[in-house]
C-alpha cells in the first residue's frame, strides 16, 4: 500500500470499530471461562454480544483446548464443558467486511509460563512494527521470546493480513525468523499471532470439522443445500462460518453435499503434533507512519 493512504478513511474507521467491539467481547468472554462452563454457551455468548454491540462475527468463535491450536468450535448440540485445561479463545469481528481478529489464552491447567510466553512474544513483535520492517524480523522477535521461556513457536502457523471480506490474506507474519519476508507498509492491517508450545512446534490436521467457507458459488439441486448456500452467499460471503449457524434443517447433510460439490471447504481442527499444549495471543494492528496502532487492545 502507498504511504499516501488515508488512515482516517471510512475503511480504517471500520477496522477500528471492529477492534473496539472485539476488545470488549474478548475480555467479557474470557471472564466467563471456568471449570464446568459450557463451550457452546461461551461461543454463543461471544457471538451474540458482538451483534449486540453493532458488529458481526468474522468467523465462528474458536475454542481450542490443550493440544488444539485452531479451527475448533462447538457443534450444534455440543455438551462439552471446560476442565483444568489450557483454553485458547480466538474471536473475530467485522463491520461491513472490514475485520479485527484477536485471541487470548485462559489457562486453567497451571501452565502460566506457557501462556505468558505467547503474550510476551506478541508484545515484543508489536514493539518493532513500523513501515519498512520485514516480517522475518517480526518472526525473529517472536521466536526469541518463546525460546527464552524454554518453549517452541508453532512454526507452521502464522499471523496474516486482513482484507475486505478476507480473514486470511497476505502478508504472512511468521512465528520464527525467516530470510524471505515481506516489508510492511503504511496502511497494512495485519493480525500478529504467536503460538507457543511445550511440544516440537508443528501442528497437523485432526479429523473433526465444524468450520467452513465458500469456495465456488454454483448451483446445487438438493433443497437443504440450496437453502444453506443462499444463506452463506448473502450473510457470510467468503468469511468462515459454523455448521451451527446454518438455518436450514439438517445442516450437516447440506454441508456434506456442498463439500462434495466443491462449493465449500472445511477447516479441520489443527492439533500439536505430539499432543503437547499450545498457547496463543493475538492482536490486530494498523501500520502507521511512525509505528503501529493496535485496534484490539
Given the residues 17, 143, 282, 293, the one annotated as active site? 282
15 known member of a binding site: no
Given the residues 66, 160, 188, 227, the one annotated as active site? 160
Q: How far apart are CA 28 and CA 57, in angstroms?
A: 15
71 known member of a binding site: yes
15 belongs to the catalytic site:
no
**Measuring CA to CA, which residue among 121, 188, 107 is closest to residue 153?**
121
193 belongs to the catalytic site:
yes
90 known member of a binding site: yes
What the block records as the C-alpha cell of 238 is 467468503
77 known member of a binding site: no
160 belongs to the catalytic site:
yes
Given the residues 101, 198, 209, 272, the one annotated as active site? 101
282 known member of a binding site: yes
- Phi and psi, residue 258, nearest 5°: -65, -35
205 belongs to the catalytic site:
no
168 known member of a binding site: yes
What the block records as the C-alpha cell of 80 is 462439552
Given the residues 17, 47, 68, 90, the one annotated as active site? 90
Report CA 83 to chain centroid distance, whole Å.
22
Q: How far apart are CA 289 and CA 4, in angstroms?
A: 10
Given the residues 47, 107, 116, 193, the one annotated as active site? 193
Q: Is 103 helix (H, G, I), strand (E, B) or coil?
A: strand
282 belongs to the catalytic site:
yes
**Measuring CA to CA, which residue among 111, 113, 274 is closest to residue 200?**
274
164 belongs to the catalytic site:
no
Given the residues 85, 113, 123, 168, the one annotated as active site? 168
274 known member of a binding site: no
- Phi and psi, residue 256, nearest 5°: -60, -45
Q: How far apart are CA 200 and CA 121, in angstroms?
A: 18
Is beta strand 159-163 parallel, antiparallel or unpaired with respect to 68-70? Answer: unpaired
Annotated binding residues, written as ranges, equal 71, 90, 101, 160, 168, 193, 282
Annotated binding residues for a divalent metal cation, written as ranges, equal 90, 101, 160, 193, 282
Residues labelled as active-site residues: 90, 101, 160, 168, 193, 282
Annotated binding residues for substrate, written as ranges, equal 71, 168
Amino acid at each position: 500500500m502507498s504511504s499516501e493512504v488515508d488512515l482516517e478513511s471510512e475503511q480504517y474507521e471500520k477496522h477500528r470499530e471492529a477492534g473496539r467491539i472485539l476488545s470488549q467481547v474478548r475480555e467479557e468472554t474470557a471472564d466467563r471461562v471456568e471449570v464446568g462452563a459450557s463451550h457452546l454457551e461461551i461461543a454463543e455468548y461471544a457471538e451474540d454480544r458482538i451483534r449486540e454491540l453493532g458488529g458481526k462475527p468474522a468467523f465462528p468463535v474458536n475454542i481450542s483446548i490443550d493440544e488444539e491450536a485452531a479451527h475448533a468450535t462447538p457443534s450444534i448440540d455440543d455438551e462439552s464443558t471446560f476442565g483444568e485445561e489450557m483454553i485458547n479463545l480466538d474471536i473475530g469481528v467485522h463491520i461491513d467486511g472490514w475485520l479485527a481478529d484477536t485471541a487470548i489464552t485462559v489457562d486453567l491447567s497451571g501452565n502460566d509460563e506457557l501462556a505468558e510466553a505467547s503474550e510476551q512474544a506478541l508484545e515484543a513483535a508489536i514493539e518493532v512494527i513500523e513501515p519498512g520492517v520485514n516480517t522475518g524480523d517480526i518472526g525473529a522477535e517472536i521466536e526469541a521470546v518463546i525460546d527464552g521461556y524454554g518453549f517452541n513457536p508453532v512454526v507452521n502457523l502464522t499471523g496474516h493480513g486482513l482484507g475486505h471480506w478476507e480473514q486470511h490474506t497476505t502478508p504472512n507474519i511468521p512465528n520464527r525468523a525467516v530470510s524471505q519476508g515481506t516489508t510492511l507498509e503504511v496502511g497494512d492491517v495485519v493480525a500478529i499471532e504467536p503460538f507457543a508450545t511445550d511440544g516440537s512446534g508443528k501442528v497437523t490436521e485432526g479429523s473433526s470439522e465444524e468450520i467452513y467457507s465458500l469456495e465456488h458459488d454454483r448451483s446445487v439441486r438438493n433443497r437443504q443445500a440450496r437453502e444453506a448456500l443462499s444463506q452463506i452467499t448473502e450473510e457470510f460471503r467468503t468469511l468462515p462460518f459454523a455448521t451451527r449457524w446454518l438455518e436450514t434443517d439438517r445442516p450437516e447433510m447440506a454441508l456434506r453435499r456442498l463439500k462434495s460439490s466443491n462449493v465449500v471447504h472445511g477447516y479441520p481442527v489443527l492439533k500439536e503434533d505430539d499432543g503437547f499444549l499450545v498457547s496463543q495471543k493475538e492482536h490486530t494492528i494498523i501500520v502507521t507512519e511512525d509505528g503501529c496502532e493496535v485496534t484490539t487492545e
